[in-house]
Amino acid sequence: MSQGLFRSPVSYTQRVLLAALVVAAILSAWFGGGPWFQRQVSILVDGEAVVVKTRAETVRAALTVAGVTIGPRDVVIPEPGTRITGDTVVEVRRAVPVIFCLDGLEMRVLSAASTVGEVLEASRVPVRPSDRLDPPRGSVVTPGLRVTVTRVVNSYQHREDPIPRKVVRLDDMSMDLGQTRTVQEGQDGLLHRLLIVTYENAVEVSSRVVSETVLAEPVDKIVRHGTAGTIVRDGQTIRFLKAMSVTATAYDPGPISCGTSADGYTALGLKATRGIIAVDPRVIPLWTKVYVDGYGFAVAGDTGSAIKGARVDVCFDTYDEAVRWGVRRVKVYILELPSS
């Protein structure tokens, strides 16, 4: 047999040394720098990225390797205890101060939340759903953001309010002008209202009526007002019911004023003479007793085709007197209206 077919037996010492070398190689590859065992971890801190290659097994360890410290209110996503199984992205949200101004006080909150509403959900700030925030809940949080909280309270209230009585004025020709007489005092009514009243920071800012119920109807107050006035003419005090300004012309019962067919009588059958005036019955009723300034006492006892509106035609006994009167702007005082 050839000697080349046989190998020298390996000694026990050699076998132990070989095993030790294999273990050392494995440990060296694991702990000492085998690049195939490292993981890439991207860490986002306040919008800035930090990339590290590490053999760290947890997010917390990776942050330590990267030199990123975490405050008690900071938020880490995924959580620090999460195991790293491959290339990983870690987000660190730094907590910033947010100041809430409410009830005359300031509450400072450290939070890593993104919006005002999220800060409230994670904190113990006593804000009710009805309260109004400025800026509102959806606003993005920035360091030092001040949020004003307005307390808004809606309250149902019952109120009873007076219904003012109406004052009814009655003209009374039997009373002198300027005199008044209360015929009926009347009484205010009473109205029950159910309201929703809105308060902001304990100050009423608005109210809305939900329902109304009349508990007592108002009773009108009735007051008579005298319309009769007085004038003094030629030393005589004359009491009148009404005064009006009119255009006054003049006529006589003769043919020049009334035509050749005139019989000397008025439309009411009265003798046409001084003391009779022609009127528009729509303005001054026929048979009304009047006083015409510059003319005297008269009766509305005639009509005329040209006498329309605030016009009168005063009668004289002669044509010359009518001519001397001409056309004037005068006051007519109503002394007594005809009985109905």
Judge whether 235 lies within some domain: no
Residues contacting residue 7 through CB under 8 Å, at least 6 positions apart: none
- What is the tally of structural domains in the chain? 4
Judge whether 299 lies within some domain: yes
- 170-210: pLDDT as tens digits: 988 778 777 899 999 999 999 999 999 999 999 999 999 99
Decide which of 170, 193, 225 is a domain's last residue. 225
Judge whether 7 lies within some domain: no
- 116-161: pLDDT as tens digits: 999 998 888 899 999 999 999 999 999 999 999 999 999 999 999 9
Q: Listing from the earlier edge strand, what are the strands of the sheet with 96-102?
A: 105-111, 96-102, 145-150, 132-134
Instruction: Judge if 327 and 249 occupy the same domain.
Output: yes
Decide which of 195, 225, 255 is a domain's last residue. 225
Judge whether 13 lies within some domain: no
Judge whether 316 lies within some domain: yes
Instruction: Judge if 260 and 326 occupy the same domain.
Output: yes
Domain with residue 176: its CATH number is 2.20.230.10
Domain that holds residue 60: 37-93
Q: What is the average pLDDT value for the chain, to the nearest integer?
A: 87
Burial label for 32, CB within 10 Å (0-12, 13-18, 19+), is exposed
pLDDT at res. 201: 92
Give 302's pLDDT tier (boundaries 50, 70, 90). very high
Decide which of 174, 193, 225 is a domain's last residue. 225
Instruction: Judge if 221 and 203 occupy the same domain.
Output: yes
- 230-243: pLDDT as tens digits: 889 999 989 888 88
Judge whether 24 lies within some domain: no
Judge whether 236 lies within some domain: no
Mean pLDDT of 311-323: 96
Instruction: Judge if 62 and 77 occupy the same domain.
Output: yes
